Amino acid sequence: MTHELCSSVCALGGFQFAALQAIYWCFCGNSYGSLGAASDSECNLACSGNSGQNCGGDYRNRVLRLSYTGSSEDACMNRNVFVPGNRTFVELSVPDAPAFRTLQCAGLPECLHRCRSGCQAVIFSQQQRLCHLLEFAAVPAALSSASSGDFFVRR
């Protein structure tokens, strides 16, 4: 685990913050701090992938604010534009929420239309008429068998 790896995974989901904990955990979210700040002595474990970086402590998060290029107006205008994407398979662990959901769709337009809030990408299998709505713009390893479908990411 490194700051760059955790930030990259959280950026795939469009989150505002990335948090590293206990050497190798990575969490993503849009808010933090409800329990207050931890002391430096409780939050001083080196990252497993880069010993020069701080990865929090036991039950203590090292929080990173993520920033994105482009204006918010551009982001709003392009929010529902999808482009073909390159598949990146990742092992995701999202507590209490799946990283994707699957539903039947008549075609690709319906599948893309169903990709709303919290959805960053889709895999659509024309043959099976299955639409996989992905929370991140990366393919969860659990969907590696869906490689025959078309993959689109939100621009």
Cβ(46)–Cβ(118) below 8 Å: no
pLDDT at 73: 40
Q: Mean pLDDT throughout 2-21?
A: 83
| Residue of 109 and 93 predicted with greater confidence | 109
Q: What superfamily in CATH does domain 82-154 come from?
A: Hepatocyte Growth Factor (3.50.4.10)
d(CA 61, CA 18): 9
Name the segment(s) of the chain with CATH classification 3.50.4.10.
Answer: 82-154
Q: Mean pLDDT throughout 79-106?
A: 71
pLDDT at 97: 58
* Closest of 92, 75, 84, 5 to residue 47, by C-alpha: 5
d(CA 72, CA 13): 16
pTM: 0.51
Mean pLDDT score across all residues of the chain: 80
What 3-state class would DSSP assign to 144?
Answer: helix
Highest mean pLDDT among 13-17, 48-52, 75-79, 91-95: 48-52
